[in-house]
Amino acid sequence: MHSQIFKKALYGSLALIAVYLTIIFVFIVPDIERSTITLEERIGETQLQKTVEIVKSASLEMQTYSKIALEEHKKSLIRLTSIAKQIIEQKEKESRGLTVEGIKQKQKEALDLISKLSYNNDDYFYVSNYDNVLIAHPYLRGEDFTNIKDIDGNLIVPPLVEVARKNGKGFTN
């Protein structure tokens, strides 16, 4: 008798547990899964938004740095170019009162000196005439650069000549 009551209680308890487990698996687990997915999506969106803001900020900083670096480079080139300009001015002073041959000799001396100038180890000065021919260069003097392009396919000397003709001085891309 006790064993039958025990069995009924046991089966009743197991049935109750089965009902609770069914309720948990049918209603609660899917709700937990939806909540978890929703929370993960929110966290993911938040992280993505933060990442986008970091990238935007870094991009803005790089653009600002690039502008500053370009302006500093331009200032440096102006200072360096003033050295070549001083050579030309000095040779011009020395040529006053000279014959045409004497003036040509002073021009040649100025161009020879400029051809020997270098800076930043690998950089150098060159001078072209308005026909895109290099009249001062460490090793390409006399070369026509009308159609010579850089590694990106851009003409090298003609844009410089154009700026010089138009403004007397300036920069190109």
The one-digit pLDDT tens for each residue of the chain (173 residues) are: 668 887 777 778 888 888 887 877 778 888 888 889 999 999 999 999 999 999 999 999 999 999 999 999 999 989 988 988 999 999 899 989 889 999 999 899 999 989 998 888 888 888 999 999 999 999 999 999 999 999 999 999 999 999 999 998 888 87
Q: Where do we find the tokens 């990238």?
A: 55
Amino acid occupying residue 38: T
Closest residue by Cα to residue 169 from 85, 72, 83: 85
Is the whole-model pTM more than 0.85? no
* Three-class SS state of 169: coil
* Three-class SS state of 141: coil
